[in-house]
Chain A
Amino acid sequence: MVLKLEHVTKRFGEFTAVKDLSITIPEKEMFGFLGANGAGKTTTFRMILGLLDSSGGRITWDDKPINYSTSHLVGYLPEERGLYPKLKVSEQIVYLARLRGMAKSEAVTELKYWLERFKVPEYENKKVEELSKGNQQKIQFIAAVIHKPKLLILDEPFSGLDPVNVEMLKEAVLSLKVKGTTIVFSSHQMHHVEEMCEHLCIMHKGTQVVHGSLKEIKRAFGKKNLVIHADFPLDSLKSYPGVVKTRSTTEGIHLQIEGEYIAEKILKDIVNKGFIRKFDLEEPSLNDIFIEKVGDSYE
């Protein structure tokens, strides 16, 4: 059950929303999509779901195209809340679950389980418009997973949630992954992807700029972060050869360097200048990579 995108392109008239995108997502993995607004994430998801036809390339799941005959195996959480505001939670979840091929009684049992799990059993007979945004998102999430999909597509699942609810949803997503669901999700927040995904890709203006496993990407990036806290001035390091970026803090300095060997050199140069409280060589964060690849256009 591998999800494969091969040279997928989508054009809307003159505008190219997605350009030559090739991704392979192995079964039971979690795959992260990163990208600024308008990078083509939602369009890609819509093509995977078959809502839009691609202008070129092929999308297959288990070597077959995804269409309405497989829709009971796919779960989708759209970027914006998509629920009937006037319907009760139970009515609409059961309706949506039945459209995904579930029996009514089964849907009712599953809904109860999920509401208990999210600690909101009292919402079963409330109208959606009466719920807060965070609670609506929980209902939205239930709608996406109630039919136990094999492939789950989550478009910005954590946006607009408080930290407690983010943790609750994250835990639910991870438990689904353990049960063998292949999950594709997009986010603005790097740390969610960094924490949860084995593989990821970064999209920029329809093109995929980075693609691979988290470790590979970090290794390939090469650059490292160096944090130094010391009792003597460190400003001279700002013009040190091999230092790409610098940021002064109250306690010291943050540097982005070209490689580990630069850190070695710096240490040799400053070790006799005074007391060094901290000398920490860090892996680059996804945020650094993202900013580097996508540039300042990001938010």
Chain B
Amino acid sequence: MNKFWIILFHTYFNKLKTKSFLITTLLTVVITLGLTNMNSIIEVFDKGGDKDKVAVLDETGQLYAPLKEQMSALNKNLRLTEFDGTEKEAEKAVEEGEYAGFVQLRYDAEQLPEATFKAMSVADSSLFTDLQAGLQQMKTMVAASKINLTGEQLQQLYEPVSFEKIALEENAKTEEELNQARGLVYVLLFVIYFAVIMYASMIAMEVATEKSSRVMEILISSVSPIKQMFAKILGIGLLSLTQLTVLLSVGYFSIKRNLSSLEGGFFDAFGFGNISVSTITYAVIFFILGYFLYATLAAFLGSLVSRIEDVQQMITPMTLLVVAGFMIAMFGLGKPDSPFIVITSYIPFFTPMIMFLRVGMLNIPVWETLLGISILLGTIAFLAVFGARVYRGGVLMYGKSNSFKDIKKALQLTKKE
């Protein structure tokens, strides 16, 4: 077998069977399952306990029924019960945990409803907000009937103004589509961001380990450093694709399974309802390109350090670049067509995230995407050639210094003169 493949598969299988890899994969699978099943999990916890049982102490004798009607429309999990007894008795019932709290209803001076909510703690703001909304609606109704407004008039008063956004550009995404795309792009951006940082530093680690254990000298006397570097980058790349495939398929099937029961909920907002094939394809393309860009960078940075402890320090500037790209992308989610985003999408270190953001959210001309990808490919090629030269010298260089001046020294080592 060709030496290139020997190194590639050695790197791949060796990393694949390490405990840390298996554990991280398992953990992320568990987290993915957790996130995609969030609603069911919350439900399970909510079913136990009568937390949302609220007693109503109706001093007016008229307001309980309309309030209950309003509340049942607002929050199905909230159960109102009429409480026959004094305030003291109600307080006692809450203290004993029978109710989450109680509402005292009465009329104020102008014969409009007024209420007090008492609970053990007022930390559960959603319960309070729901009750407030219900009371508000009830008050509106009471007030309206007092000034003799008809139901029709009332409806006119409260009907929201019709206001619609329409993009004139051909093929432009509608507001609804944009919201869906935003969710999907957001999640995929996260995946690209984490994967690039994680696998690039894995490469730097791998190179530094081989160097610090001095096995490098034997390796480079058998196989050229350039072949080695790329075999390693591809080996780890294969590893990353394995892990991502596992994660994405677990996530995908888990969402698919839950989708019917979650109609209109959390996932619709993230645009998982109708996953766009082209967005996923672009995500894969930009992930692979981004990986190669940063992996090459990481490999040659890793070749410059002599001790494993120095790796993190060495690759920090690279990590910051990825973080910066991610930050810009987060900003761009809200304003994908701003000139700043357009310009940064052509800067190769940001292209993988920001150009992806643009193709994912807007309908930009194909040539723009291709131009971005070409610049990126050119940069990768340049970094590969330059990086390979640094790598070749770097792996032979031992010393305590680990500054960027070493790049010059490493290049000097490979020079003939």
**Interface residues of A, Cβ cutoff 8 Å to B:** 11-13, 46, 49-55, 68, 71, 74, 76, 78, 80-85, 87, 92, 95-96, 98-101, 143-144
Whether A68 contacts B396 by the Cβ 8 Å rule is: no
A105-B220 Cα distance, complex, nearest whole Å: 23
B73 at the interface (CB under 8 A from A): no
| Contact flag A76-B213 (CB < 8 Å), given A11-B417, A51-B396, A52-B396 | no
Whether B412 contacts A12 by the Cβ 8 Å rule is: yes
**Interface residues of B, Cβ cutoff 8 Å to A:** 1, 3, 6-7, 10, 14, 209-210, 213-224, 396, 412-417
Whether A71 contacts B214 by the Cβ 8 Å rule is: no
- Nearest Cβ on chain B to A57's Cβ, whole angstroms: 11
A84-B213 Cα distance, complex, nearest whole Å: 6
- Nearest Cβ on chain A to B267's Cβ, whole angstroms: 42
A101: chain B residues within 8 A (beta carbon): 3
- Nearest Cβ on chain B to A74's Cβ, whole angstroms: 7
Whether A68 contacts B224 by the Cβ 8 Å rule is: yes
| Contact flag A68-B223 (CB < 8 Å), given A95-B10, A99-B3, A143-B218 | yes
| Contact flag A84-B215 (CB < 8 Å), given A68-B224, A71-B222, A99-B6 | yes
A-B contact pairs, 30 of them (CB 8 A): A11-B417, A12-B412, A46-B396, A51-B221, A52-B396, A52-B413, A68-B222, A68-B224, A71-B221, A76-B217, A76-B221, A78-B214, A78-B217, A80-B214, A80-B217, A82-B213, A82-B214, A82-B215, A82-B216, A82-B218, A83-B215, A84-B215, A95-B6, A98-B3, A98-B6, A99-B3, A99-B7, A99-B222, A100-B222, A101-B3
- Nearest Cβ on chain B to A13's Cβ, whole angstroms: 6
A49: chain B residues within 8 A (beta carbon): 221
Query: Count of A-B contacts with CB under 8 A?
Result: 70
B210: chain A residues within 8 A (beta carbon): 84
Residue of B whose beta carbon sits closest to that of A54: B416
A46-B415 Cα distance, complex, nearest whole Å: 14
Whether B417 contacts A55 by the Cβ 8 Å rule is: yes
| Contact flag A78-B417 (CB < 8 Å), given A46-B396, A83-B213, A95-B10 | no
Residue of A whose beta carbon sits closest to that of B222: A99
A55-B221 Cα distance, complex, nearest whole Å: 19
Chain A binding site: helix, strand, loop or mixed by DSSP? loop
Interface core residue of A50, A71, A99, A101 (most chain B CB under 10 Å): A99
B14: chain A residues within 8 A (beta carbon): 87
- Nearest Cβ on chain B to A258's Cβ, whole angstroms: 44
Residue of B whose beta carbon sits closest to that of A55: B417
With A51-B220, A53-B415, A81-B213 known, 17 other A-B pairs at CB within 8 A are: A11-B417, A49-B221, A50-B221, A52-B396, A68-B222, A68-B223, A76-B217, A76-B218, A78-B217, A78-B218, A82-B218, A84-B210, A84-B215, A95-B10, A96-B219, A96-B222, A99-B6
A53-B224 Cα distance, complex, nearest whole Å: 13
A289-B168 Cα distance, complex, nearest whole Å: 92
B413: chain A residues within 8 A (beta carbon): 12, 52
Q: Quick one: which of B7, B214, B415 contacts A81, CB cutoff 8 A?
A: B214
Residue of B whose beta carbon sits closest to that of A78: B217
A34-B206 Cα distance, complex, nearest whole Å: 35
A98-B231 Cα distance, complex, nearest whole Å: 15
- Nearest Cβ on chain B to A81's Cβ, whole angstroms: 6
A78: chain B residues within 8 A (beta carbon): 214, 217-218
A143-B214 Cα distance, complex, nearest whole Å: 13
- Nearest Cβ on chain B to A185's Cβ, whole angstroms: 15
A85-B208 Cα distance, complex, nearest whole Å: 13
B415: chain A residues within 8 A (beta carbon): 53
A52-B395 Cα distance, complex, nearest whole Å: 11
- Nearest Cβ on chain A to B189's Cβ, whole angstroms: 34
- Nearest Cβ on chain A to B68's Cβ, whole angstroms: 67
B213: chain A residues within 8 A (beta carbon): 81-85
A71: chain B residues within 8 A (beta carbon): 221-223
Whether A51 contacts B417 by the Cβ 8 Å rule is: no
A49-B217 Cα distance, complex, nearest whole Å: 10
A95-B3 Cα distance, complex, nearest whole Å: 10
Residue of B whose beta carbon sits closest to that of A77: B218
A256-B300 Cα distance, complex, nearest whole Å: 55
- Nearest Cβ on chain B to A136's Cβ, whole angstroms: 11
